[in-house]
A and B are shown apart, each in its own frame.
Chain A
Amino acid sequence: MPDATIPKPQYYTSPALTLSADPQVLNFTQALLEFHGVDHRTWSYRAAIFLNNPKATEKTAPNLKSHYVGYFQVFAHGGCFGDMGHCEVQAAVRPYDSRRPHPLLPIVKTVDISAGLKKLLPKGGDFTVRVVAQVTNGTEMCDPHDEFLKFNRIRLITRSE
């Protein structure tokens, strides 16, 4: 696969999420950022996560100074090798259909941002999530124009033990 077919990085900046200023919440021992509905049909990619840095790009240094808090890696399917309809996920399962779920159901990726969140938002507050996604691999079946960075929800979960 020549370099020309590798898609350029793709970006996303979220609306504001909130870390409560409640001292009990701020006392968390673990903070997880969950990305729901992540598409994994085509290109494999690495998604770098920045908080409150909507201008971050693939050239931004991945350190706390740039508000980098972690990454997730998508080990994706590499495109469709089947006939028409092979990679279409059925919206609903018929009664008595006990086959395993479609392997292309959207997935959940989780990033532990505990250390970064503690340092960047010690008093809580609103923050945006910037995702900088770079393709790490694909196959001859991947479309260079594909929108590979797709998900439908970001969720912050804090825990204290």
Chain B
Amino acid sequence: MASPTVRENVATLSVQKLAELRKAIAGMQAISDNRGFNYWAGVHGVPQWKCWHHNVLGNSNQHLTYPLFLPWHRAYLYHFEQYLKDIVPTSALHWWNWETPPSSPSKLPTAYSAATGANGQPNPLLKSHINYPASHLQRDTKRDSGSSPGMSLPTPADVQNLWTLSSFIAFSGQLENLHDDVHGWTGGLHGDMGTIAVAAFDPIFWAHHAMIDRLWFIWQEKFGQGTGIPTHMLDSVLDPFNMKVSDVLHVEALGYTYADSSSQVLI
């Protein structure tokens, strides 16, 4: 049986793993059909609008919670990662640990902010091209990180608070709040990460959501993988993927896991 893919912290990726990720992303960006970056980014907002966010209310003013936020995005990342692997079989989606102490300035990981990669070529993690002329979008993605008033990245204390929430509904809601903050800070006033419409076209979206998925993974390790998911949700279909909620509860069954930690030193 093949070993699971190990997703790692982008800040401590080896030169080789970062190069694999960049090669795979660049490969997807060069494909204009339904294997390509533009297509898969377009599943989230423009033009397909398939993502799940937020809780909504029913007619009776009771919570009609649709907490499919975590399962849907897990299926989304799984599919995206498979297309990366079609290009570079050893590539993986790695996570951006955006936890930032209040005393430190919020910032993007170098892997995603550098203009070029180690090979001197343009860094495909910096931006992508949005190509949906029917939706009036034909341009490169942009970032304006840190420019939105009052926004900062979540703190370690914010993340620690997640481990006090034993209810899946409460955990999912609070994690989504942190998720919203990261989108807001990263996009800034004029960038693309800040709205559902175009967020997934920014390559850092995938590292941000790998972090979200990792935090759910850690929560599942702590409280149990099936724990707390309302029974009526388990058969919910995660459109447009050929998966139900019950299919995405165990990351090992999807062929990946998360590194506990990683570090490196330049010699």
Contact with B along A14-51 (1 / 0, CB 8 A): 00000000000000000000001100100010101000
User: Is the C-beta of B63 less than 8 angstroms from some C-beta in chain A?
Assistant: yes
Contact with A along B147-184 (1 / 0, CB 8 A): 01111000000000000000000000100010111011
A81 & B184 in contact (Cβ 8 Å cutoff) = no
* A residues in contact with B137, CB < 8 Å: 81
A136 & B135 in contact (Cβ 8 Å cutoff) = no
When chains A and B are docked, how far (Å) is the Cα of A106 from the Cα of B58? Answer: 10
| Contact count band on A | 35 or more
User: Is the C-beta of B195 less than 8 angstroms from some C-beta in chain A?
Assistant: yes
B22 CB to closest chain A CB (Å) equals 26
A21 CB to closest chain B CB (Å) equals 26
A140 & B136 in contact (Cβ 8 Å cutoff) = yes
Query: Which of A109, A136, A153 meets B151, CB within 8 Å?
Result: A136
Interface of B is mostly: loop
Q: List residues 201-257 of chain B with CB under 8 A from any CB of chain A.
A: 239
Query: Which of B61, B148, B149, B197 meets A79, CB within 8 Å?
Result: B197
A100 & B195 in contact (Cβ 8 Å cutoff) = no
A44 & B184 in contact (Cβ 8 Å cutoff) = yes
When chains A and B are docked, how far (Å) is the Cα of A110 from the Cα of B55? Answer: 10
Query: Which of A72, A81, A106, A141 meets B57, CB within 8 Å?
Result: A106
Please give me the residue from chain B that is nearest to A71 by CB atom: B150
Q: List residues 21-56 of chain B with CB under 8 A from any CB of chain A.
A: 45-47, 49, 51, 53-56
Across the A-B interface, the 7 shortest Cβ-Cβ residue pairs? A137-B194, A78-B195, A78-B197, A136-B148, A107-B54, A73-B180, A75-B180
